Amino acid sequence: DKAGHKHFMAKEIAEQPQVIGDAISHYFGSGTDLHLPGDGIDFNGISRMILVACGTAYYACLTAKYWIEKLAGIPVEVDVASEFRYREPPVGEDAIALFVSQSGETADTLAALRYCAGKARTILSVVNVPESSIARESDLALPILAGTEIGVASTKAFSCQLTVLLIVALEAARQRGRLDADRQAEIVTALRGLPARLNLALDTEAITERLSQELAEAQDVLFLGRGQMYPLALEGALKLKEISYIHAEAYASGELKHGPIALIDQNVPVVVMAPRDPLFDKTVSNMQEVMARGGKVLLISDKAGIEAAGDGIWRSIEMPVVEDLLCPILYAIPAQLLAYHTAVAKGTDVDQPRNLAKSVTVE
Ligand code: M6R
């Protein structure tokens, strides 16, 4: 049942305020204390975390690296499961291994989990399907509570994965004495306000739909982001290519002049995901480099960011202001809407893109 939407993907994008709100209530109850199920995870006894997944779930892990390292001070390694499983990486009792999977059945991710079982101190998973193999074979499975996701392109599962991974980072930071009660309360308040902000982000749909008509003409699209927004740029590019079949690539903004800037001309839209955070000014200079070469910048930012970026921006999409840590979750919405409407404009099969399966249970 598409609940009045044209595609499951549209329905699932629209459901995000609700399901993320559910996940937040599940893990926080009504106060500011965390309720991570199971008392077993000891973030003090470890010296590193290993995060492994595929596709969109891998990008959720990359985002979590920024959060866990910054908040909890634990070194984090992130890898795609198909590489991790065959590399014979050293894994020992000093590590928590964490696997992220919507389906919980992705063959490579499951094989990576089995490789770590009996080596790592704890096997954690972040899953949407609690009865799945990955959930069952973990010491502790944290549900993302996104509900059934039917569209092949992951949307609400991604933002719910991010939400739960941020909660894991907060719990790790709390245990390690790096999160005082005031800061914790501040973040929890921001999390509780997130569904309302997500609704505001969904209100940009009409603008995004118009922009997507123009994006649908492009052969190639670049996505740029810095810091915790870099993985989101990767996710935006994956989403666009998987359903619209437009070639899209993402780079960390600072990498632009190390190669990809050679691609820039007036035919290449460059989507920049950049809230006005402490790294914003650096991203502005990257945008100027693009514009100086005739590139078309589509800036996704907040009001202050769009104003500060000045003239010369091709198009912009304005996001509400949120606590910095929550920006990747909020900015997932315009990334998804852009991909969705571009695909609709191109007339592709949005829910069942060519050559792709929802769950990749073979290598
Ligand atoms: O079920 P999983 O989360 O393990 O699936 C991982 C990837 O196959 C999945 O995220 C894929 O990249 C999606 N099609 C992305 O939209």
Q: 101 CB under 6 A from ligand 1? A: yes
Of residues 62, 59, 65, 43, the one with CA closest to residue 102: 59
Q: 56 CB under 6 A from ligand 1? A: yes
Active site residues: 358
Strands (E), the chain: 48-53, 76-80, 95-101, 122-127, 140-143, 220-225, 247-252, 269-273, 296-302, 315-319
Q: Which pLDDT does position 40 carry in this prediction?
A: 64
Q: Which atom of ligand 1 is nearest to the CA of 239?
A: 16
What distance in Å separates the CA atoms of residue 72 and residue 183, rounded to the nearest whole number? 13
Q: Which pLDDT does position 237 carry in this prediction?
A: 98
Q: Which pLDDT does position 31 carry in this prediction?
A: 81
Question: For 85-136, where are the alpha helices, taking DSSP H only?
Answer: 107-116, 133-136
Q: Which pLDDT does position 9 carry in this prediction?
A: 97
What distance in Å separates the CA atoms of residue 104 and residue 109, rounded to the nearest whole number? 8
Residue nearest to ligand 1 atom 14, measured at CA: 153
List the pLDDT tens digit at each of the 363 positions of the chain. 999 999 999 999 999 999 999 999 999 877 888 878 766 689 998 999 999 999 999 999 999 999 999 999 999 999 999 999 999 999 999 999 999 999 999 999 999 999 999 999 999 999 999 999 999 999 999 999 999 999 999 999 999 999 999 999 999 999 999 999 999 999 999 999 999 999 999 999 999 999 999 999 999 999 999 999 999 999 999 999 999 999 999 999 999 999 999 999 999 999 999 999 999 999 999 999 999 999 999 999 999 999 999 889 999 999 999 999 999 999 999 999 999 999 999 999 998 998 998 888 888
What distance in Å separates the CA atoms of residue 142 and residue 100, rounded to the nearest whole number? 10
The tokens for 298 are: 């589509």
* Continuous segment of H or E residues that includes residue 354: none
**Helix, strand, or coil (residue 361):** coil
- The one-letter amino acid at 196: A
Q: 14 CB under 6 A from ligand 1? A: no
Q: Which pLDDT does position 32 carry in this prediction?
A: 81
ipTM score here?
0.98
Strands (E), 274-342: 296-302, 315-319
